[in-house]
Structure 1
Amino acid sequence: MDHYIDLDRMPREFEERDTVFLSIPKDLKTLKTWKSYKLSPRYYGPWKIVKKINSFAYELDLFVGCKFHHVFHVSCLRKILHDGDNLLVDGLIWF
């Protein structure tokens, strides 16, 4: 069973001072700015990584009035890469 679970996982490593987008679960309502979950943005950010806690947890530099914890699991983070005028998130191009 462990073999089949590992087929879908992809290793992610981030460095301090990297820029990432944050994926927040739909039951966490503190960043809810839209009336409908389907119309809300999929990722929030960009945020800077302040500190690497371990290989699975990273501390982000969130805004001052934030009501949730500032340490997130690696599965909630997506790396941002800049390619000229385009914005690349995990290999996908965003205009």
Structure 2
Amino acid sequence: MARYANKKRWPDEVFQVGDLVLVSARNITLPWNITHKFNHQYYGPYKVSKHINLVTYELELPDVAQFHNAFHVSLLKRFKPDTKYG
């Protein structure tokens, strides 16, 4: 029962200013002629520039990004650099 109850709880992921995070592509709209099944699930890494409130973070996005730079914590994932291939 705890497994089902925990699905509705907010993630307790806490990011600090300067951390690198990935942004979920779930709410990012792309042009209609792009096949969505071949797109990435996450974009980034981007640096956290500001902690706005309990569940919102502001990111440093490139200038060509045409969407808002504040994201809910559930749309963010900590960036873990892959040292296996680098």
Interval of TM-score (by shorter of Structure 1 and Structure 2): 0.7 to 0.9
Partner residue in 1 for 2:42: 43
Q: How far apart are 1:47 and its partner, in Å?
A: 0.3
Residue 17 of structure 2 corresponds to residue 16 of structure 1:
yes
Q: How far apart are 1:22 and its partner, in Å?
A: 0.5
What fraction of aligned residue pairs are identical, expressed as a percent? 32
Return the letter of the residue paired with 1:25: R
CA distance in 2, matches of 1:11, 1:68: 25
Return the letter of the residue paired with 1:77: L
Q: Which has the higher contact order (CA 8 A, sep 6+)?
A: 2
Unaligned ranges ≥5, structure 1: 88-94
> Structure 1 length as normaliser, TM-score?
0.71
> How much is the aligned-residue C-alpha RMSD, in angstroms?
2.6
Return the letter of the residue paired with 1:56: V
Shift in CA distance, 86/55, structure 1 to aligned 2, threshold 3 Å? farther
> Structure 2 length as normaliser, TM-score?
0.78
Displaced runs of 4 or more, over 4 A: 3-6
Higher normalized strand content (fraction of residues): 1
Unaligned ranges ≥5, structure 2: none
